[in-house]
Structures are given as C-alpha cells and as structure tokens.
Amino acid sequence: MLGHEYTTKEVFRKNFFNDWRKEMAVEEREVIKSLDKCDFTEIHRYFVDKAAARKVLSREEKQKLKEEAEKLQQEFGYCILDGHQEKIGNFKIEPPGLFRGRGDHPKMGMLKRRIMPEDVVINCSRDSKIPEPPAGHQWKEVRSDNTVTWLAAWTESVQNSIKYIMLNPCSKLKGETAWQKFETARRLRGFVDEIRSQYRADWKSREMKTRQRAVALYFIDKLALRAGNEKEDGEAADTVGCCSLRVEHVQLHPEADGCQHVVEFDFLGKDCIRYYNRVPVEKPVYKNLQLFMESKGPRDNLFDRLTTTSLNKHLQELMDGLTAKVFRTYNASITLQEQLRALTRAEDSIAAKILSYNRANRVVAILCNHQRATPSTFEKSMQNLQTKIQAKKEQVAEARAELRRARAEHKAQGDGKSRSVLEKKRRLLEKLQEQLAQLSVQATDKEENKQVALGTSKLNYLDPRISIAWCVCLGSQFPPVAYGGPGFSRRPLFSPSTAPVPCPLGSAQALPVTGTHDAESCVISSPCPERSDGQGEVGVLTVAWDSEASGGPVELSLPTGSGRWLSALLGGHLGHSRLSLTPR
C-alpha cells in the first residue's frame, strides 16, 4: 500500500500499527514499537516487481493464465438452483488486507483477517453434492436454508458484518427480484398523486411528527434523496440521507437565484459523495424548515421526530410494498421516459439519438447524484478527439473545394464522365460531413459526461423496458405508458424539443410488426445462454409485448444488424435484466 495517499494518514497508521502489533510474536513486539521507524521498501519492491513481471509475460504464458482462470470459473463459478445451472456472482473469498473504507473512515488501516474454512458457513440443499472443505479443514457449518439466497457466508473482521456468496445478476433469482422492484415502482404511479396531495396537506398538520414526515417525504420524492438510516458514530464515515439530515446540512435563503424560498443542501451522502443543491421549495416547506431549525444547534437532527422506520411504516400504509427507496426507482424511470420523449426527434441521425439517450440517462444520474471522479485520461482523450475533429474539418473543406471544381468542370465539359465525378465528389462531401457531425456529437457527450456516472442508474434504477420500447418503437408513439402521469419537473438540464414521434431505429419497415405496443406490456424474454434450459437465441434480441392487433403477445426478433446499435444503448442494462445481446 506504500505510495497510496492514505498510508500518510494518522488514523490509517494508528489502526494499522495497532492491529499489526496484535499479530506479532512476543519478541517482535519487544522490538517493533514505532511505525515511523519501520522500513517496508523491500517488501514493497517485491510486489512492484511481481506486478511488472506479470505485464511482460509472453503470449503463451498469458494464455495459460487465462485458461487457468477459466478452469476456476468452470469449477467454482456455477451452481444448480431449482434444477438450472446459474452463474455465481462472487465465488472467491475476499483476501486479507488493510481495510480502507471511503472518506474519513475511522477504521481505515485495520487488518482484514484471512478467512479460513472454519469461518465459512455453507448453505445448500441436503441432498446436493456438499462442497468439500480443503484438506485438513472443516466448514464452520453446513446448513440447508431455502428461505435465503446465499450459498456461503462468513463474518468479516473489521466491521463485524456478514459477507455472502450470492448469484450473479443474470440469474433468474436476481432477475426476478429486479423485475418485481420495477413493478412496485410502476404501481407507485397509481398512488403518487394521492400521496403527494396527502403530504402537502400534512405540511399543516398539528403534529410536529407528521409535518416532519411530510417535509422529508417531499425531499425524497422531489430530490430523490435516500432514506437516511441512523449510523453508529465512530463505526463509519459521517454521512447522511434524508431522515438523518442535520441542521448544519441545510441553509435557508428567503431569496436566491431570483427565486423565493430557496433551500441550500450541502452534505456527504452515500460513499461520501457530496450532495450540493439549491432548490426553490414551496412556501409551507420553507416555513416548516424554519420551525424545525428553531432553537437547535448545527449538529442537531433536522427531523428529530422522524426515523426511517416510522417513515417506511407510514409508506407501507399508503401502498403495499412502498418504502422510501421506491421513490428513487420510480422517479428515475419516469424521468428517463419523459426525457426520452422530450429529447428525441424522428429526423435525427443515429449519433444524435444516442446523444439524446445519454442525455436522458444523464438527467437521471444527476437527479440521483451519481458522480464519478473525472477519468485520469479525460483531458488527453478529449484533446485527441478535438484533433480528430479539426482534421475532419479540414477534410470537409478540401472536399467542398473539390466539389466546386468538379461542378465547374462539369459545366464546362457537360459530358457523362464529368457528371459522375461530380456525383462522386458530392457523396464524398456528404459522408465527411456526416462523420464530422458524429465526432462533434461524441465530443459534446464526452464533455457533458465528465463527472457524471451513468452506470449505476442504468443498472439499478432505469426500467430496461423503457429503453427497449424506445429502441423498437418503430415510428409509433413514444413514450409507452409505463410511468405516465404528470410527475413534476426537477433540475431540467436540456431544453425539451416539441418534435413528436421519434423513430430511433432506422429500418422501421424492415421489421414485420404492426399494432400498438408499449412498455406496459413489453416483456423481455430471456435469451440467457448460460441457462441450461437454453432459452432464446444467441445473436438475436427478442422483445415481446401484447399487441392490440393480434390480441396476444407478439415477439419481435430484431435483425442482427441492429445488435450493435441496441447494445450500445442497452449495454449497461444487461447486467441486471437477464437480457443478453450478442451482436454478430
């Protein structure tokens, strides 16, 4: 770990030395008393050399390593669940090391112990082939609990929490719970108007508890904040969510940015990612916040009468299965749908449509505060792109001049040969202009995405059916009605266009489909090659929906040619939605 910034941190060094001393023999403890006097450069060099040696391996040696990894994957990477082979997510025990944690973690530097078979609980059915522990060892326990999904578990030594071996997201088990999650979010659509009027009414409640709950729920809904469970202090970095906000995390401005009643949020959320936002709120919210903050210190809880448990209990009464995080899923998905509708135009080029999709995705990521560190290569690769654009511009100028010359030539000659030259030059210019447009769209996309992470929302929050419906809407009306309803606008990034009816897939007529279809009934069939029942075809994406015309489910197998285009857009969805795309 030498060379990492955190080895210079006092907390890290203290925790490490403390744990290290516990591991020492008595004689060592006598000698090694100060970390500052320890020199690790030799062992550090050993590991650096080892990493360097790996890099320069020959082709054959690399191939061999790859084959060995593949063998491990084959032997340990799969299990049988309900008679089907399923891929396991993490089948390796976490190796020992020094705990880092994120942000200012009080436990950074502590030793994460090596896990032995004696620490591991195995969970599998009684009549199955129970895994053998390594020679000379025993499992901590073998149990057969079919009410849980994990295959093995152990207790991790730093936080004293349980770690699990579970299935891969492409498994039926995970896919179906993900689907259920989106179904719950979609159900919220039918309740959300009522819930919103309810919490608005509750802003005037006689009971402080109810008012606090109503204001918190407003934030969870409008700003997609996380619930914010209580945390034990000293056990982890000081981060908060909605219910655990403290007075110091909000500032009230009677007027700011030309708006009245502005609330300024500034706090560290999950993973110590800063949430900073200034939002105009409705007057009663503002007045209530003033009330909640009265005669409190900065470290006091803003919502002192509210817990995530009481909030979720309330939500459960409003709708079966409703909890705070459902609002994040719902608002993320409906925002994607609305943005796709607002941003796509039928006449746009494929490149422009991809930009629109990414922008819609970006609005969601910003709503959910999914940030990333600017990639280390960002500046350089941006520069490369600009260079390319410049070169393309010159090519375009050159082609334009050539076209002009050819036109003059044709005028002078007027024969068939000069005409075909003219045509050729015209086509060349068109092609180059198109390439230039694509590059500049790419640059825009890259720049806008500098500090925004799209993966998390695509994987966890965006109903893949919306993306698919958008991809295959074939000139009929988008959006489908999956997450309809008025919703309300939040931090719009891009000005909506009024152009209706996008048709992102160029070859609409090539697909023999008629009738209406929408994401409401759009079903993703499951071409998962890993499954032993072998559903679906590799190389074809199959989407099914209920068609009015046929009165039943219709299956659409997209032509392989659309694979690249679709996978470019849907790539990030694939992990969690059992949707497998293998373009040929």
Nearer to DNA by C-beta: 219 or 478? 219
Nearer to DNA by C-beta: 158 or 466? 158
Catalytic residue status for 461: yes
Structure tokens that stand for 475 in this block: 């000139």
User: Under the criterion CB under 7 A, does residue 358 sit at the interface with DNA?
Assistant: no
Beta-carbon count within 10 A of 344 CB: 26
Structure tokens that stand for 115 in this block: 């896990």
Minimum CB separation of residue 547 from DNA in Å reads 30
* Whole-angstrom distance, CA of residue 400 vs CA of residue 420: 16
Minimum CB separation of residue 168 from DNA in Å reads 7
User: Under the criterion CB under 7 A, does residue 409 sit at the interface with DNA?
Assistant: no
Question: Please, which residues bridge with residue 163 across strands?
Answer: 154
* Whole-angstrom distance, CA of residue 477 vs CA of residue 517: 9
- Listed ranges 86-94, 124-132, 398-406, 418-426: which one lies at the site for DNA (CB under 7 A): 86-94
Residue 409, judged by CB atoms within 10 A of its CB (0-12, 13-18, 19+), counts as: middle
Amino acid at 293: M
- The answer to whether the bond into 479 is cis (omega within 30° of 0) is yes
DSSP structure string for 214-249: HHHHHHHHHH---------BTTB-----STT-BGGG
Minimum CB separation of residue 293 from DNA in Å reads 22
Nearer to DNA by C-beta: 325 or 426? 325
Question: Please, which residues bridge with residue 452 across strands?
Answer: 371
Phi and psi, residue 562, nearest 5°: -85, -5
Minimum CB separation of residue 232 from DNA in Å reads 5
User: Under the criterion CB under 7 A, does residue 18 sit at the interface with DNA?
Assistant: no
User: Under the criterion CB under 7 A, does residue 369 sit at the interface with DNA?
Assistant: yes
Minimum CB separation of residue 234 from DNA in Å reads 11
Angle at 443 between CA 441 and CA 445, to 5 degrees: 70
User: Under the criterion CB under 7 A, does residue 150 sit at the interface with DNA?
Assistant: yes
Indicate which single residue of 28, 271, 537, 555 sits in contact with DNA (rule: CB under 7 A).
271
Site for DNA in 151-210 (CB under 7 A): 153, 156, 158-162, 164, 166, 168, 174, 177-178, 181
* Whole-angstrom distance, CA of residue 307 vs CA of residue 91: 36
User: Under the criterion CB under 7 A, does residue 216 sit at the interface with DNA?
Assistant: no
Minimum CB separation of residue 164 from DNA in Å reads 6
If binding means CB under 7 A, how many residues of this protein chain bind DNA?
Answer: 85
Indicate which single residue of 131, 133, 455, 539 sits in contact with DNA (rule: CB under 7 A).
455
- Listed ranges 22-30, 64-72, 480-488, 495-503: which one lies at the site for DNA (CB under 7 A): 64-72
- Listed ranges 142-150, 289-297, 468-476, 518-526: which one lies at the site for DNA (CB under 7 A): 142-150
Instruction: Please enumerate in sequence order all residues whose Cβ is within 8 A of that of 506, keeping only pairs 6 or more positions apart, or say none.
Output: 350
* Whole-angstrom distance, CA of residue 96 vs CA of residue 115: 7
DSSP-derived secondary structure letter, 109: T
Minimum CB separation of residue 395 from DNA in Å reads 12
Indicate which single residue of 34, 295, 377, 495 sits in contact with DNA (rule: CB under 7 A).
377
Structure tokens that stand for 378 in this block: 């960002």
User: Under the criterion CB under 7 A, does residue 272 sit at the interface with DNA?
Assistant: yes
Strands (E), 24-115: 78-81, 84-87, 97-98, 111-112
Structure tokens that stand for 530 in this block: 């890993």
Minimum CB separation of residue 126 from DNA in Å reads 17
Indicate which single residue of 351, 535, 575, 582 sits in contact with DNA (rule: CB under 7 A).
575
Nearer to DNA by C-beta: 515 or 571? 571
User: Under the criterion CB under 7 A, does residue 456 sit at the interface with DNA?
Assistant: yes
* Whole-angstrom distance, CA of residue 266 vs CA of residue 218: 17
Nearer to DNA by C-beta: 41 or 160? 160
User: Would strands 141-143 and 121-123 be described as parallel, antiparallel, or unpaired?
Assistant: parallel
Minimum CB separation of residue 582 from DNA in Å reads 10
Nearer to DNA by C-beta: 475 or 571? 571
User: Under the criterion CB under 7 A, does residue 572 sit at the interface with DNA?
Assistant: yes
Structure tokens that stand for 263 in this block: 């609330």
Report which secondary-structure segment, H or E, holds 401. Answer: helix 378-413
User: Under the criterion CB under 7 A, does residue 371 sit at the interface with DNA?
Assistant: yes
Beta-carbon count within 10 A of 440 CB: 16
Nearer to DNA by C-beta: 324 or 522? 324
Beta-carbon count within 10 A of 584 CB: 9
Minimum CB separation of residue 412 from DNA in Å reads 36
User: Under the criterion CB under 7 A, does residue 385 sit at the interface with DNA?
Assistant: yes
Structure tokens that stand for 322 in this block: 């409703």
Give SS3 for 151. coil
Nearer to DNA by C-beta: 335 or 457? 457
Nearer to DNA by C-beta: 280 or 375? 375
Site for DNA in 94-123 (CB under 7 A): 94-95, 97, 99-103, 105, 112
Kindly name the residue from 199, 357, 461, 483 that is annotated as catalytic: 461
Indicate which single residue of 113, 325, 345, 426 sits in contact with DNA (rule: CB under 7 A).
325
User: Under the criterion CB under 7 A, does residue 145 sit at the interface with DNA?
Assistant: yes
SS (H, E, C) 280-307: ECCHHHHHHHHHHHCCCCCCCECCCCCC
How would you label 241-250 residue by residue, b for 16+ Cβ within 10 Å and e otherwise? bbbbbbbebb
Site for DNA in 497-556 (CB under 7 A): none
Give SS3 for 433. helix
* Whole-angstrom distance, CA of residue 357 vs CA of residue 374: 21
- Listed ranges 226-234, 411-419, 509-517, 531-539: which one lies at the site for DNA (CB under 7 A): 226-234
Tell me the per-residue interface mask from 233 to 252 with DNA, x by CB under 7 A, - otherwise: ---xx-x-x-----------
Site for DNA in 551-570 (CB under 7 A): 567
**What are the catalytic residues?**
461
